[in-house]
Structure 1
Amino acid sequence: MHHVVSATTNPAKIRAIQHAFNEIFGEGSCHIESVSVDSGVPEQPFGSQETRAGARNRVSNARKLRPDADFWVAIEAGIDEGSTFSWVVIETPEMQGEARSATLPLPEIILQRVRAGEALGPVMSHYTGIDEIGRKEGAIGVFTAGKLTRESVYHQAVILALSPFHNAVYR
């Protein structure tokens, strides 16, 4: 059984990681352990570079905390060019995989508050009345009428970041 360390305690991210690993490696083949680690970037990262650095930092910090794991996984959400997205970074002792998720354009009223220094999750909670929306369906769930959720979009990005680990051509 693979020991997978998730560098987050966010339930939506953990479910996406579990789902993707089960699909790639088989149901029940992985034990997911979630840990809380620092990203080294602001709570609301801006730009692809800062968001990717946050995911890489989380993986690095998770590796220091749980050095005997088989996989370390981080998902960092950010804002870039008026849209929200995330970076997924997955490492083993031998390899690394990274993928950027799909992007969701955000309304200007939301972006104004985020640009003023508020994190997207609390802003969305304010407008929707959904407590801790970032740990649930997120802005994606709200603005796609539930057709997509944070979990579903993260799941795709985790699958993409896992591609080097199960395709021999990468080795």
Structure 2
Amino acid sequence: MPETRTIAVGSQNPVKANAIRSAFEQMFPSWQLEVETVAAPSGVADQPMSDEETLTGSRNRLAATRSAKPNANYWAGIEGGIEDGPDGMNAFAWIVVESRQVTGQARTATFPLPEGVADLVRSGVELGHANDQIFGRHDSKHHEGAIGILTHNVIDRKMLYEHAAILALVAVKNEELYLPANLKEG
């Protein structure tokens, strides 16, 4: 029986944990996986308002998760964010995955938010709550999310995160190519 590998995810949101699990299953189909969730603080605003703040939140969640679960084999942090620009407000997320040797990160696809949602977010409402208000949903951030609502579930939140998680795992899958110079055999 294959060795079980433990992945610690810096969120107790089942959508995020399931996206990470699915990405690992696709990249490492022979592995037995155990996924543990951690209530990891992002250290940024509840609604990150820039690319940089969102990436920082994801990295902070990963660091907190690694501290909470030091015996895991892999750690992951996910943070959703928005950016407001001249063409409107866009949503996305950053995913950071780490092994004991390398770190990989990737940003999800970016998608535009409707002006009604954007106006609520600009007024200080977190995106998930704004979606619930505008679309008459309850707790959509733990289900299909804005992307699922807007695409009528052609793409749901898990799928959006899953693709970026797979891309973040490129460094883990090809660890020998991504090792820091001081760890490469010379």
Measured after TM superposition, the shift of residue 161 of structure 1 is: 0.2
Structure 1 residues 31-42: aligned runs within 5 Å: 31-42=34-45
For residue 19 of structure 1, what is the aligned residue in structure 2?
Answer: 22
1:149 and 2:156 equivalent? yes
Equivalents in 2 of 1:103, 1:57: separation in Å?
A: 21
Q: CA separation of 1:170/1:28 partners in 2, compared to 1, >3 Å: closer, same or farther?
A: closer
Consecutive unaligned residues in structure 2, runs of 5 or more: 180-186
Residues matched between the structures, number:
171
1:118 and 2:125 equivalent? yes
Q: Alignment partner for residue 170 of structure 1, among 147, 154, 178?
A: 178
Q: CA separation of 1:34/1:107 partners in 2, compared to 1, >3 Å: closer, same or farther?
A: same
SS of equivalent residue, structure 1 residue 43:
coil
SS of equivalent residue, structure 1 residue 3:
strand
Per-residue displacement from partner, 1:83-134 (whole Å, max 9, x unpaired)?
Answer: 1100000112211000000011001111111011110001111122221100
Equivalents in 2 of 1:18, 1:130: separation in Å?
A: 26
1:104 and 2:111 equivalent? yes
Code of the residue aligned with 2:34 in structure 1: it is: H
For residue 59 of structure 1, what is the aligned residue in structure 2?
Answer: 62
Code of the residue aligned with 1:100 in structure 2: it is: R
1:49 and 2:52 equivalent? yes
Equivalents in 2 of 1:161, 1:153: separation in Å?
A: 13
1:89 and 2:96 equivalent? yes
Consecutive unaligned residues in structure 1, runs of 5 or more: none
Per-residue displacement from partner, 1:23-45 (whole Å, max 9, x unpaired)?
Answer: 11116521100111110001100
Equivalents in 2 of 1:29, 1:164: separation in Å?
A: 20
What stretches of structure 1 move > 4 A for 4+ residues in a row?
none
